[in-house]
């Protein structure tokens, strides 16, 4: 079993069956984040993607759909993709709505065109999942996603761990030592830390507009994460 899928299967098995936020790691000090924080995250997605009825939303790494369902209630159409079969099963059971489909798929294989993904999307979200991807693979990921998008489209990668702020996350000696030790063993406990530089370069090469919306201040993770908004405009 893939390590990441295994990690989330374990989270599902060790969380309450309806603790949807804990199942996908939206926790603070071991507890699901507060409703006001969830609202702030959702509102930022709606604002950055300028979501409206008639949009076709692609949610990459959608988890158990705890965010996806409310977003697709706005757009009326969407597709959630996730590596974890356990999370996709929960999404289908608890977070379905008209116009929303969920597919279990590894996004690293998106370029191979898995069945059912021939739709054209104009809004793309990856919420709190980019840490599972290696920065040097960003160009390939971007190309495989843009291949499924309309000529004019907006992408939002939210809650990306910022490599320049990693020591504000590993903020005690014990956490730092553990982090350095795990890295020495080749393990990335939290996933990968990103620099805006990787993303800027890939966007420049593809003629894409880019900016970095900050994480809403109400969230603890504003200390060490950032957002990435990418726009492709129709050359016609
Ligand atoms: C922290 S969770 C966030 C889930 C959801 N976006 C949210 O904010 O509630 C990260 C998600 O990324 C998914 N993921 C990680 N690597 C993936 C890959 N290669 N392909 C598809 N999904 C992946 C995980 O299975 C997990 O559901």
What CATH number is associated with residue 157? 3.40.50.150
Assigned domain for 189 exists? no
Mean pLDDT of 179-199: 84
Per-residue pLDDT band at 170 (split at 50, 70, 90): confident
Q: What percent of the chain has pLDDT over 90?
A: 76
Residue of 10, 38, 81, 82 with the most ligand 1 atoms within 8 Å of its CB, for mutation: 82
Assigned domain for 180 exists? no
Tell the burial category of 140 from Cβ atoms under 10 Å away from its Cβ (0-12, 13-18, 19+). middle
What's the CA gap between 22 and 32, in Å, rounded? 5
Assigned domain for 45 exists? yes
Q: State in Å: Cα 87 to ligand 1 middle.
A: 9
Mean pLDDT of 189-210: 91
Per-residue pLDDT band at 1 (split at 50, 70, 90): low
pLDDT score for 37: 97
Assigned domain for 169 exists? no
pLDDT score for 3: 85
Q: Which residues have any ligand 1 atom within 6 Å of their CB? A: 4, 8, 24-25, 61-63, 66-67, 81-84, 87, 106-108, 127-129, 132
pLDDT score for 228: 98
Token pair of 55 as six digits: 């949009």
What's the CA gap between 133 and 131, in Å, rounded? 5
Beta strand segments in 41-108, E: 57-60, 78-82, 100-104
Please list the residues that pair with 32 across neighbouring strands.
Answer: 27
Residues 179, 107, 55, CA angle at the centre, nearest 5°? 115
Based on DSSP, count helices (H) and strands (E) in the chain, helices before strands: 9, 9
Specify the pTM: 0.94
pLDDT score for 116: 62
Residues in the chain: 236
Q: What is the pLDDT of residues 18-50, one digit of tens each?
A: 999 999 999 998 899 999 999 999 999 999 999
Assigned domain for 183 exists? no
Assigned domain for 113 exists? yes
What's the CA gap between 204 and 182, in Å, rounded? 34
Residue linked to tokens 């071991």: 30
Closest by CA to 147, choosing from 182, 184, 112, 186, is 112
On whether the CB atoms of residues 71 and 46 are closer than 8 A, the answer is yes
Question: Domain containing 143: what range?
Answer: 3-162+195-232
Neighbours of 180 (CB within 10 A): 10
3-state secondary structure of 165: helix
Token pair of 161 as six digits: 């761990």
User: How many domains does the chain divide into?
Assistant: 1
Mean pLDDT of all residues in the chain? Answer: 92
Q: What is the pLDDT of residues 70-127, one digit of tens each?
A: 999 999 999 999 999 999 999 999 999 999 999 999 999 887 776 667 779 999 999 9
| pLDDT-wise least confident of 63-77, 130-144, 187-201, 212-226 | 187-201
Q: Reply yes or no on whether the pLDDT at 2 is more than 60.
A: yes
pLDDT score for 178: 86
Assigned domain for 174 exists? no
Assigned domain for 158 exists? yes
């Amino acid at each position: 079993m893939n390590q990441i899928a295994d990690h989330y299967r374990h989270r599902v098995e060790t969380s309450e069956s309806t603790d949807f936020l804990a199942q996908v790691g939206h926790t603070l000090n071991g507890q699901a984040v507060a409703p006001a924080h969830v609202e702030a995250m959702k509102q930022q997605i709606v604002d950055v993607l300028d979501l409206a009825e008639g949009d076709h939303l692609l949610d990459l790494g959608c988890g158990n759909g705890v965010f996806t369902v409310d977003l697709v209630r706005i757009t009326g159409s969407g597709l959630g993709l996730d590596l974890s079969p356990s999370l996709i099963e929960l999404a289908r059971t608890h977070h379905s709505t008209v116009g929303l489909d969920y597919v279990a798929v590894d996004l690293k294989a998106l370029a191979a065109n898995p069945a059912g993904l021939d739709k054209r999307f104009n809004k793309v979200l990856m919420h709190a999942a980019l840490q599972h991807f290696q920065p040097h693979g960003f160009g390939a990921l971007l190309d495989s996603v843009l291949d499924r998008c309309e000529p004019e489209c907006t992408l939002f990668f939210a809650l990306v761990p910022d490599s320049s702020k990693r020591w504000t996350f590993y903020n005690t000696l014990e956490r730092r030592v553990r982090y350095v030790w795990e890295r020495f063993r080749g393990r990335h406990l939290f996933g990968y830390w990103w620099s805006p530089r990787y993303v800027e370069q890939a966007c420049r090469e593809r003629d894409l507009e880019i900016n970095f919306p900050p994480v809403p201040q109400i969230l603890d993770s504003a200390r060490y994460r950032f957002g990435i908004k990418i726009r492709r405009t129709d050359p016609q």
